[in-house]
A and B are shown apart, each in its own frame.
Chain A
Amino acid sequence: MLRSRLLTPILRRTSLITGRSLYSSSVVCHYDKKTSTSKDEMDHFNQLAETWWDVNGPQRILHKMNLLRMDFIQQTLRNHIQLNKDVTNPDDEIYVPGYSLKLLPKQISEQILLEQNLKRDEIQRDQPKLNILDIGCGGGILSESLARLKNVESVKGIDLSTDVLKAANLHKSLDPDIESKISYELTAIEDVPKTEIFDLITMFEILEHVNFPNEVLSSALTHLKPNGWLFISTINRDFVSWFTTIFMGEHVLKIVPIGTHHLDKYIDETEIKDWFKKKPEFEVKDSKGCTYLPFKGWVFSPTPNVGNYFMAIQRVK
């Protein structure tokens, strides 16, 4: 529910609940069979399905959030490309200075960056195309963005709401470029066949809604190929998060129904890092905080341990 970090009245009617949270609340049901909130949320989602793709409608804030998610995914993938890995001739090496590019004159640093980026493009072009699993895909905002990338082969989006998946299927059929690259399925991550493995799995705004996040996380990880990436986002359990997502989001601005969030379900960035320390086959490669600035949109913050954050995990073994 990171989207509740919005304090402006414009967002008053903006729902912070996405397919992801429905997915997750259903996951809650899945594990403890309590369905007390799911009827309300289901109605809420049915209403949302119609306006899901209206970028100026109630989901605008989610559409804006998606921009930063994509930036995070793209930057992480590109930053972890080893530029001179397969280069044998030193003359062909791309120059990677051992110090900040800011120390160089602008023209030179721009030239270096340009060369590095062209090399990254080249490497990405030559790599096998990615197969992606988007857990809690909702109306398909992230799935469609991923599917449009040139280095993506296919995207499978899963969710537990029939209505949002209907909206997702309808919308993808409008764009001939991506229609055949995406498939949506009404299923939980636990029910995805073990044989299906992916280069990249996304799970945005899920963990803070499930009762047993470690089980959901473990389940997702079993579908990751060697060297594959998992991208997640959730919320730190701190005062800032309580103030923005619960106090402002639920009680003052009433962007989401009261009771949507439970502070005790929020997970600190350090807790996830610690959890992965016990799993040597995975490495947390990056985490970045994110903040909503009125009039500007979502921006990265230098503090992944406050409020909302993204995290990138790679299977290294």
Chain B
Amino acid sequence: MSLIFRRALAYAVDSAPKSFEPKVVDVLVVGGGPAGLTLAAGLKNSPIARELKISLIEGFNLQPVKDFHNNPPDQFSNRVVSLTPQSIEYLQKIGSWNHIKEERVQPYDEIIVTEGISDARLNLDTPELATMVENLNLQSSLYQRIKELESQSEDNFGLDILDNTKVTIIEKDPINNWPIVHLSNGEKIKTRLLVGADGFNSPVRKFSGIESRGWFYNRFGVVGTLKLEYAPYRSIGWQRFLPTGPIALLPLPNDNATLVWSQTIENSELLTQIGDDLFVELVNAGFILEDIEMRYYYRKIKAGETKGLTDDIKWRVSIASKKYTEDELDEKFPVKVISVNEKSRARFPLRLSHADSYVSDRIALVGDAAHTTHPLAGQGLNMGQGDVQQLVKAIEIGLQRGLDIGNTLVLEPYWANRYPENHMLLGVVDKLHKLYSFTSEPMVQLRSFGLNALNQISFIKNFMVKTISGK
């Protein structure tokens, strides 16, 4: 027998069980991000749903998530999210918050919103308004909780996590219509319920035929992890609306902070390419200089005339600072940024999108697969957490009623619960983005008047605080 033939035979025997009989599960979660992992942990934590057979597949390597608990990286990651108290409450309920690395999270109780063209400002404060957490820390806590539940389970745990595995094709079983998902490792999984927690480009959503509507904001979010001159006395989130988009500096423990700067496509590219020093000064400038000065610097950078520019910005910032007393500077501006962590700068496109439905026969979409939003209100991830919470609840009720959990009768309440709330949030954030894109004088005056007025009207502020914190 020739060697080639033998190899071919060995291969055929090896792959035969994989390619012919699909594995059958109750829930297949596509996506190992925060939404997918929360769903897996939420279901396995539920006394009603824990017996479901679940598979979770993730296209990327989950090794950093698995390693985080024992070997956390020295530096803070650039992917940081703001969690509302409501999201945290759920994570506590399902037992994953115990596994969070507390020394790496930073609660903050105030947001100071200013704008780039006028001096209008709005302070929103409430105890524990939100908490900054690295995505990795969040994912790791969920992963650890899943491991903990597995170690506590008496019999077969019924949850497989496959990373480095992508969806290649999704088809329907010709007999009972269950989705069959083909994976890049050659395996097939047939599932009662297919959950798309697979992000904006969701293959699951495409398979379901559910339409998603929205637009690209023509903006990118530039992120980076920053070091401040000193650890601030109070944890405050700073956001200044510039005509190019809001710049936000959010607190991390000690003298660390994270940046989300919405920028035009062109500027975002420049900001990720320029040297660290110049970048740091531009961030400082973003909170105090005027629009016309910022535009001058972007022009210079674009033309490649960056020599001496860092010092020039420093000088202008110091001039601008002289208008204020020490106390005013402390009160109105964030602590100066002194450096940016190496390779922590990245950019991602900002979009609004909303799927027409989150459910169809044997399909449910959660998180970014169902909706994406501008990061200016820090709601994106929290909306996904709210989705998962409601989907778990819908599945529990369905199981108690003896229903097939892939049935739309089970899934519809999830969608009915989440769609209106998400739609409202997407709309408000979208309007805010548009409102602050105007530079014409009457518009600026009107919105500055509005922002200052808002700052004085406590019941509207309370409502906003409630919305932001999800209370």
Contact = CB atoms under 8 A, between A and B. Distances in A.
Interface string B167-205: 000000001110000000000000000000000000000
Contacts of B399: 148
Interface string A127-154: 0000000000000000011111110000
B402 A70 contact: yes
B51 A150 contact: yes
A71, A144, A146, A174: which has the most chain B beta carbons within 10 Å? A174
B235 interface: no
B402 A145 contact: yes
Contacts of B402: 70, 144-149
B291 interface: no
Contacts of A55: 407-409
Nearest to A145: B402
Given A121-B47, A174-B176, A56 B408 contact: yes
A224 to B, nearest CB: 21
A145 B408 contact: no
Interface string A202-239: 00000000000000000000000000000000000000
B350 interface: no
Interface in A61-77: 63-64, 66-67, 70-71, 74
A118 B400 contact: no
Nearest to A74: B400
Contacts of B176: 174-175
A193 interface: no
Interface string A2-30: 00000000000000000000000000000
A145 B403 contact: yes
B409 A64 contact: yes
B401 interface: yes
A176 interface: yes
Contacts of B408: 55-56
Nearest to A71: B401
B52 to A, nearest CB: 11
Contacts of A149: 402
Contacts of B400: 70-71, 74
Interface in B379-430: 399-404, 407-409
B51 A174 contact: no
B24 interface: yes
Nearest to B400: A74
B191 to A, nearest CB: 12
Contacts of A118: 47
Contacts of A71: 400-401
Contacts of A176: 24
B228 to A, nearest CB: 38
Q: Which of B175, B402, B403, B407 has the most chain A CB within a 10 Å cutoff?
A: B402
Contacts of A175: 176, 404
B25 to A, nearest CB: 12
A67 B401 CA distance: 6
A71 B399 CA distance: 11
Contacts of B175: 174
B43 to A, nearest CB: 15
Contacts of A150: 51
A63 B51 CA distance: 25
Nearest to A146: B402
B395 to A, nearest CB: 13
Nearest to B406: A175
Nearest to A60: B409
Interface string A147-186: 1111000000000000000000000001110000000000
Nearest to B408: A55
Nearest to A174: B176
Contacts of B401: 66-67, 70-71, 74, 145
Contacts of A64: 409
Contacts of B47: 117-118, 121
Contact of B409 (A67, A117, A146): A67
Contacts of A67: 401, 403, 409
Interface string A61-102: 001101100110010000000000000000000000000000
Contacts of A70: 400-403
Nearest to B405: A148
A233 B177 CA distance: 33
Nearest to A114: B47
B356 to A, nearest CB: 16
Interface in A39-60: 55-56
Contacts of B404: 144, 148, 175
B192 to A, nearest CB: 8
A64 B403 CA distance: 11
B27 to A, nearest CB: 13
Contacts of B51: 150
A148 B48 CA distance: 13
Given A56-B408, A145-B402, A148-B403, 18 more contacts: A55-B409, A67-B401, A67-B409, A70-B400, A70-B401, A70-B403, A118-B47, A144-B404, A145-B401, A145-B403, A146-B402, A147-B402, A148-B399, A148-B402, A148-B404, A149-B402, A174-B175, A174-B176
23 contacts: A55-B407, A55-B409, A63-B409, A66-B401, A67-B401, A67-B409, A70-B400, A70-B401, A70-B402, A74-B400, A74-B401, A121-B47, A144-B402, A145-B401, A145-B402, A145-B403, A146-B402, A147-B402, A148-B399, A148-B402, A149-B402, A174-B176, A175-B404
The 7 closest A-B pairs by CB, nearest first: A145-B402, A174-B176, A148-B402, A70-B401, A149-B402, A55-B409, A67-B401
